[in-house]
Amino acid sequence: MSMTEEAPRVIERPTLAAAGGDSASAASPAPQSAQAVFESRDVNVYYGSFRAVRDVTFDVPRNQIMALIGPSGCGKSTVLRCYNRMNDLIKEARVTGTISYRGADLYHERVDPVEVRRRIGMVFQKPNPFPKSIYDNVAYGPRVAGQKKGLDDVVENSLRKAALWEEVNDRLKDSALGLSGGQQQRLCIARAIAVDPDVLLMDEPCSALDPIATARIEDLMQEIKQDYTIMIVTHNMQQAARVSDTTAFFTADVRSENDTRTGILVEVDTTQKLFSNPSDERTENYVTGRFG
């Protein structure tokens, strides 16, 4: 049977609701926290002919926080972008191997990448609010999805979850660009959760923030992980140790003979084990600060 003849389990609402990913569906059972939300197998990512990451295989447990750590250039952002098909938007990028999301092939030709990005939201290192009001930023996703009623509630609830409501509720019509960097980042988190995603991908979300704003975002992650699965890239070892349940350590495999650097996954384990008693010497050197 060819790929086009078989009936794929595509990423669409009914399929996801049946899989337990739609909180609006009362019939769906509560997700099992030990289950994997993603399973990646032998994932390689190329930019043109350059292989940026090689043979990445691991599972991402549901309703937990997973940290992706490793030295600069080892492919953490590249790997993270695979999980909501953001690499599709980079012309020269190509992904091989398989990634399944709740049992469905994320890269199947009939999967709609726009729906993928609604279910699997992303927060970037640099806050990127739209040049719109605070309200319109948060309401943006629900509006695109066709929602007209109840937007006030969605905006308020999302801003509350992102620990920003108290600071902005008297100026919702003001431009988001007038907020501080930390507030903008929390606004971007509010915007990401306004569409009720299943997974939140965060690429160094606190790197531009002060310790107070960072602590707020870390608290927020703990609060929302019962509803979401979170993957966070961070260079901050303390942050990874503080917030995450599991950690994946990546490094760059350097081949001097042809001067190539390829990102590889060294090990994945519970955060406690990976930081206290890692299996691989390279991990130990990194987490103890002897390398990177």
Ligand X SMILES: Nc1ncnc2c1ncn2[C@@H]1O[C@H](COP(=O)(O)OP(=O)(O)OP(=O)(O)O)[C@@H](O)[C@H]1O
Q: Which residues bind ligand X (CB under 6 A)?
A: 47, 52, 72-78, 90, 92, 263
Instruction: Report CA dihedral (232, 238, 242, 245) to the nearest 10 degrees.
Output: 50
User: How many Å apart are CA 235 and CA 125, to the nearest integer?
Assistant: 11
User: How many Å apart are CA 114 and CA 177, to the nearest integer?
Assistant: 26
Q: Which stretch binds Mg ion (CB under 5 A): 77-85, 94-102, 161-169, 212-220?
A: 77-85
The CA distances from residue 141 to 87, 113, 130, 138, 234, in Å, are: 21, 15, 12, 7, 26
Does residue 78 bind Mg ion (CB under 5 A)?
Answer: no
Which of 75/141 has CB closer to ligand X? 75
Q: Which stretch binds Mg ion (CB under 5 A): 72-80, 178-186, 190-198, 214-222?
A: 72-80
Which residues does 129 contact at the CB level (< 8 Å), separation at least 6? 137, 176, 177, 179, 184, 187, 188, 191
The DSSP call for residue 228 is: -
Radius of gyration of the chain from its Cα atoms, rounded to whole angstroms: 19
Which of 22/203 has CB closer to ligand X? 203
Which of 96/276 has CB closer to ligand X? 96
Which of 46/130 has CB closer to ligand X? 46
Q: Out of 77, 158, 185, 251, name the contact with Mg ion by CB under 5 A.
A: 77
Binder of residue 78, out of Mg ion, ligand X, none (CB less than 5 to 8 A by kind): ligand X
Binder of residue 72, out of ligand X, Mg ion, none (CB less than 5 to 8 A by kind): ligand X
Instruction: Kindly state the smallest distance separating residue 138's Cβ from Mg ion, in Å.
Output: 26
44 contacts 53 by C-beta, under 8 angstroms? yes
Which of 92/223 has CB closer to ligand X? 92
Q: Which stretch binds Mg ion (CB under 5 A): 37-45, 73-81, 158-166, 193-201?
A: 73-81
User: How many Å apart are CA 199 and CA 38, to the nearest integer?
Assistant: 10
Instruction: Kindly state the smallest distance separating residue 208's Cβ from Mg ion, in Å.
Output: 13
Structure tokens at 118: 């609604």
Binder of residue 73, out of ligand X, Mg ion, none (CB less than 5 to 8 A by kind): ligand X
Which of 68/187 has CB closer to ligand X? 68
Binder of residue 74, out of Mg ion, ligand X, none (CB less than 5 to 8 A by kind): ligand X
Please measure the distance between the N-terminal and C-terminal CA atoms of the chain and give it in whole angstroms.
48
Instruction: Kindly state the smallest distance separating residue 76's Cβ from ligand X, in Å.
Output: 4
User: How many Å apart are CA 33 and CA 13, to the nearest integer?
Assistant: 21
Residue 27 burial by CB count (10 A; 0-12/13-18/19+): exposed, middle or buried?
Answer: exposed
Which of 108/261 has CB closer to ligand X? 261
What residues make contact with Mg ion under the rule CB under 5 A?
77
